[in-house]
Each structure stands twice: as C-alpha cells, then as structure tokens.
Structure 1
Amino acid sequence: MIRAYRTDGSAEILGPQSAKDHISPDIIWIDLISPSVEEEEYVERSIGIPLPTREELKDIEPSSRLYLENDAVYMTASLIYKADTPLPQLTDIAFILHDNRLITIRYAEPKSFALFSASLLRLNGQCKSGAALLGSLLETVADRTAEILETLAARLDTLSVAVFVDRKAAKRRPPRFLEDKLLDIAAHHQLVSKVRDSLVSLSRLVTFLSSQSVIRSDTLANELCTIVARDIQSLAEHAAFVGNNITFMLDASLGLISVEQNAIIKIFSIASVVFLPPTLVASIYGMNFRIMPELDWSFGYPVALVAMLVSAVIPFLFFRWKGWL
C-alpha cells in the first residue's frame, strides 16, 4: 500500500492502477507499507530514483544503510514495534530524502508512524519540506521510545514490590513464585535490549543526516535533528540505567531463590541431626545381644523411649538457642 501525504496533512492512497507516472508536487511524504513489486516499480517511475528492496534493508553495514545516490539521501534505521506484546521486535525502515520529498519504506506498523500520521493535520503545514518532515517524524519516534522506557520502568517498580516483600508476605506467596518472576525479568530484558539496539541505529542515522546539506540548509530540519540527537543520547543513558536495574532484579531474584532453597536444605539437615541420637539409642537396644542387663528391666522399654525423646529434644533446644531455626 502507498499512502501519500500533502503539505496540509491530507492523505490519499496511490497505486499502479492509477496509470499515472507522475506524483503531484504538493505531496511531501510517500509512505510505502509492505509494498508489492508493482507498487515499488510505480514509485520508482514516478520519482525517478531506485528504491531499496526488502533484502537490502536487512544489511547491517553502515555503508549499506547510510549513503548518497542520484541526489538522494538513503538511510535505514531499525525501529522497535510490538513493544506492548510479550515478543517485541525490530523492523528495518528506509528513509529517503529526494526532491524536497520524504519517502519511507517499511514492512511493519510501528506505533510512532501511526501517531505521526495522525498529527500531520495538527501541524497545519508547518513542515513544508521533506527534511523538516523527517525531523518531526524522528522526534515522534524518540518520544515513542521514551514512552516505552517509562512503561518499562513502571513495570520494574511493580516487579520490585512483588519480589522484595517482608518475610510474612513472602510466606504467603504461591510455590515457584520467584521462578515465574524470572520469566518476567527475561521479557523486560529483551524489551530494553531491543530499545537499545534501536537507539544505536537511530543515533547513526541522525549523525549522518545532520551532516547533509539538505539538513544544514533547512533551519527547521537542522533544529529538529539537534533536538532528536540530544533526546537519543538521554534515552540511551536512561535505557542503560533501566538495563542495570533489570540486571540487579535478576541477581536479586536468583539470590532469593538460593536463600529459599538453602532454608529448605537447612530444615532437612537439622531434622536429620535431631533424629540421629534417638536412632542411635534405638539401634543399641535393637541389637538383641544375649547379655543385655536392660532386657530384664521392668521399665526398660519406657526408659528407652524417654532416652530417645531426651536425645532428640536436647539438640532441638540447642539449635534454637543458637538461632539456627
């Protein structure tokens, strides 16, 4: 699908079925969403420059992602999408500046694009060039990334409250509670990793874009790129802080799991030590040797029971006195 946006924010759907190889000059943004081969060829004929294919968007070399060709600026960035789902992903999006027009090629629906396209009418024609429009779009992408990090930080606070509770509340927790929280921590770590990868990609794009004459000659676009560059730097620092918190949560959860396991092992160890002396007494009087004076005692059996009970109580009281229970 091809969406075309004019300077006043209005939009229309273009396609090869229109049988026109000319796109109106008042169209400032051409957004190709999962385009077919026919749609790509139609746009190429209309604007007169080649478009990168889906396979070319996946190249990771900076020279393949950021370059100049045919008086056009080609840039590719990895943006996060599906951030509100258990499986956030990255998608490669091409940004092309040519003939005072922005062309984007994408095969996913990042929320930042929907937010920006919805805000075009409110801009009321403030972005009169493709460079300024790209700067505003990148600013929306940075704002969306900040929103993702804020949501992630709030989730980590909730998770921290659930993990670090007092001892009474910890005893009321269901079995394998902390093990289940490890899955939540892994999901948060995956999300912040995707965010950091996206920020690195955006930082390279903005650095390259700021050095282009099409940006330096446009005051609004230059200001927007400067703002976006500062935002990306601060977001990268915040993402690193959130990542450190996730690492701390992981280490703390593993430590608490080890403490709980050690407590269970300690109970079994103490129980075995407590019952060891009674077992020794019972073993002695269970040998049934021929000459054992206690066998002829009238109170031999109750005396043996009392001896076993006392030998169990004394270690128990000693452990409590030491504070091991």
Structure 2
Amino acid sequence: MFLAHPLGTEAAPVSERTDPSIAAWFDLLNPTDEEHALAERLTGLRIPTRQEVEEIESSSRVYTRGKVLYLSTPLVRRFDDTSFSSPVGFVLSPDRLVTIRYTDYTVFETVGRQLAAPPDQKAAIPAMSEMKPGTPPDAETIMQLLLEAMVDRLADVLELAGHDLDSLSKRVFGAQQPHRGDTDRRLRALLSRLGTLTDLVSSVRDSLLGLQRIATFVRENGDRPCSERFAARLTLLSKDISSLNDYDAQLNNKTQFLLDATLGFINIEQNNGIKLLTVVSLIGIPPTLIASIYGMNFKDIPELNWSFGYWYALSLMALTIVLPLIWFWRKGWLGSR
C-alpha cells in the first residue's frame, strides 16, 4: 500500500497520476515491487528495500546520501498477549519524508489523523502549536510527530508490562497457595507468561535503542543539519528515551528475578516429590523384612508354634510403618506440625 498524507485531508492512495507536491509525507505499507518503483519515480528519492531496512549494523541503519537521511529501526508491536518486531525505515529529505513499514502500527494512523485534524485541534499538539499559523507542517515536523508518537507508544507498552509483572509477582509470592494438584499447571502458566514478558521487554529495548540512535544521528549530523526547533525537540526526546531505557532495565531485572523465583519453586516441588518417594520406599522396607523373616521355611523359628505369633508379626509390621511416619512428620517432610 502506498499512501500520501496531504495537509488537512485523510490519507489517500497514490497512483501514477498523483502530484508529488500535494504532501510532505508518503507512507509505504508492505509495498509491492511496483509501489516501490512508483515511490522512487514520484519522490525522486532512492527508497531502501526491506533487506536494507532490516540491516543490524549501525552504519546501515543511519546514514546520509547528500542532503537525504536514511534511518531505520526495529519497532515492537504488542498484539493481545503476543508481541513481535518489524523494521521501520525513514527517508528524510529537506522537503519530504518517506516511511517504509511492513506492518500496520497505530502510531502512523494517529499521526495521519493529527495532520488531517481541524486547525483548533492542531493547536493542542505541541509539535504543531509551535509553528506559525497557516504554515503547513514540513518533513521535520512530521518526523518529530512520528518519533514522539512511537516513544509514547513504547512507554504505554512498558507501563502495561510493568502492571503484568506486578500481577505475576503477586501470583508467585501470594500467600494463598492452590491445591497441590494445581501446582504444576500454575507454574507452567507462570513460566510461559514470564517468557512472553521477557521477550516483550527485550524487544522494547531494541526499539528504544534504535530510536535513540536515530534522534542522536539526526541532531548531530553535520552533512545535513536540522533546524534548531527540531534539534531541541530531539534533545527532549532523547531524555525521554533514556528514562524509558532505565525503566526497561528495571523491568528486565524484575522478570529475571521472577523467573529465578519460579524455577526455585519448581525445584521445591520436585524435592517434595522426591521426599514422598523416599518416605514410601523407606516405610515399605521394614514390613517387607519382617514378612521375609517369618516367611522362611525353618523348623526352629521360635514364634512358629506360638498362638499369638501371627498377630505379633502383624503388629510389628504396623509399628515399623507408624514409627517412620511419625519421625518424617516431626522432620517436616509430611507437612507442618
């Protein structure tokens, strides 16, 4: 999909007859080869391919060609209880911005609605309120809106992840423990959820690092200096990203702690199972020994002709079962006293 965002109107599909001067922002969503070639013809800019946008080297993610900045970053998207990262690319020229993405992030639709909003609503948007009345937003302003919306969205994702970790922490260390039969299912669910949150927190960190690299590169690039207003906003954005990185690191430490705690509880449950098997095996050995002794076919067994010998042997077997059980109970292996 190839969209243009003209000022004051909703996003519109781009065709061969589209006048490239109608918009300062062109958006490529999972473009086909034909749409990729059309974007290059209309804008006069080289548009990177998906393979180029997915490059992980720093020199491949942020670089310049003349007065044009080529920027890319992985951006995480959370969908229900799952998350994934997809590359996002920016081509920033002095008069035009082209974005390349391969999934439908809500921040792009949000910024598109802001550009199409009435003038009174635009005045409430910090990036657009600083502009002179009647001045259409330029490529830098649109880029600023997108970056700030992305950081705000990542902050919301981290906030939700923090709430989820608080809930999991209460489930891990909750005072009310479920029945023993539910323990395995509960611990499996906790491990699965912790794994999902760990992956999400790690993906958010990658996105924040990519946006931090973009903000620093655009602000400090000498080949294509940005405006003072844009540089000031990027400085504030970098501070917000730094604070989110600290919070992300805190969440990562918490997920590791909860993961270690859950694995510790699993070890405890396994030890309890081993204890139970030990108890069962030990209390079964003495009665077996007694039954084996009195089951031997020897004529001179003293209790062989005793009228109470049978009940004596049964009582002795019961005693060898009860005494170990009392000892294990006092040791705490069979539950608290």
Q: TM-score, structure 2 length as denominator?
A: 0.87
> CA, structure 1 residues 172+274, in 2 after alignment: closer, same or farther (shift >3 Å)?
closer
Matched residue SS, 1:144: helix
Matched residue SS, 1:50: coil
Match of 2:63 among 54, 64, 67: 67
> CA, structure 1 residues 71+312, in 2 after alignment: closer, same or farther (shift >3 Å)?
same
Write the distance in 2 (CA, Å) between the matches of 1:314 and 1:34: 74
Deviates more, 1:307-316 or 1:215-224: 215-224
Deviation sequence 1:249-305 (CA, Å, 0-9, x none): 111111101111111211221222223222222121111212112111111101111
Contact kept in structure 2, 1:80 and 1:110, CA below 8 Å: no
1:135, distance to aligned residue in structure 2 (A): 1.3
What root-mean-square deviation, in Å, do the aligned CA atoms of Structure 1 and Structure 2 show?
2.2
Match of 1:248 among 228, 244, 257: 257
Write the distance in 2 (CA, Å) between the matches of 1:200 and 1:38: 32
Alignment of 1:272 onto 2:275: no
Write the distance in 2 (CA, Å) between the matches of 1:268 and 1:172: 16
Alignment of 1:4 onto 2:1: no
Deviation sequence 1:114-139 (CA, Å, 0-9, x none): 22223332425546221122112101
Contact kept in structure 1, 2:11 and 2:112, CA below 8 Å: no
Matched residue SS, 1:132: helix
Alignment of 1:141 onto 2:150: yes
Deviates more, 1:192-201 or 1:32-41: 32-41
Write the distance in 1 (CA, Å) between the matches of 2:288 and 2:305: 22
Alignment of 1:99 onto 2:98: no
Match of 2:47 among 51, 54, 61: 51
Write the distance in 1 (CA, Å) between the matches of 2:239 and 2:199: 24
Match of 1:218 among 210, 215, 227: 227
User: Structure 1: which 4+ aligned runs deviate by more than 4 Å?
Assistant: 124-127, 213-217
Match of 2:329 in 1: 320
Write the distance in 1 (CA, Å) between the matches of 2:12 and 2:224: 27
Alignment of 1:39 onto 2:38: no
In structure 1, the gaps of 5 or more residues are none
In structure 2, the gaps of 5 or more residues are 132-136
Match of 2:166 in 1: 157
Write the distance in 1 (CA, Å) between the matches of 2:107 and 2:24: 18
Write the distance in 2 (CA, Å) between the matches of 1:40 and 1:305: 89
Deviation sequence 1:200-233 (CA, Å, 0-9, x none): 1111111101113698552332222112111111
One-letter amino acid matched to 1:108: T
Matched residue SS, 2:178: helix
Match of 1:186 in 2: 195
Contact kept in structure 2, 1:215 and 1:222, CA below 8 Å: no
Write the distance in 1 (CA, Å) between the matches of 2:195 and 2:204: 14
> CA, structure 1 residues 216+69, in 2 after alignment: closer, same or farther (shift >3 Å)?
closer
Write the distance in 2 (CA, Å) between the matches of 1:49 and 1:323: 75
One-letter amino acid matched to 2:170: V
Q: TM-score, structure 1 length as denominator?
A: 0.90
Write the distance in 1 (CA, Å) between the matches of 2:10 and 2:68: 25
Match of 2:122 in 1: 123
Contact kept in structure 2, 1:31 and 1:105, CA below 8 Å: yes
Match of 1:13 in 2: 13
Write the distance in 1 (CA, Å) between the matches of 2:250 and 2:103: 28
